[in-house]
Amino acid sequence: MKILGRHLIVEYSECDKRSLDDVRLLEEGMNEAVRRSGATIVRSVFHRYNPQGVSGVVVIAESHISIHTWPEYGYAAVDFFTCGESVDPYKAHEYLSTVLGAGAAHVQDLRRGIPSEADEVISHKPFPQTFNVAAQA
| Residue 15 known to be catalytic | no
Q: Select from 80, 92, 105, 91 the least CA-distant residue to 15.
A: 105
> Cα(first)–Cα(last) distance of the chain, in Å?
28
19, 37, 44, 63: which one is catalytic?
Answer: 63
| Residue 116 known to be catalytic | no
7, 13, 64, 68: which one is catalytic?
Answer: 68
Asked if 5 and 124 touch (Cβ cutoff 8 Å), the reply is yes
15, 19, 37, 83: which one is catalytic?
Answer: 83
| Residue 63 known to be catalytic | yes
Catalytic residue ranges: 63, 68, 83
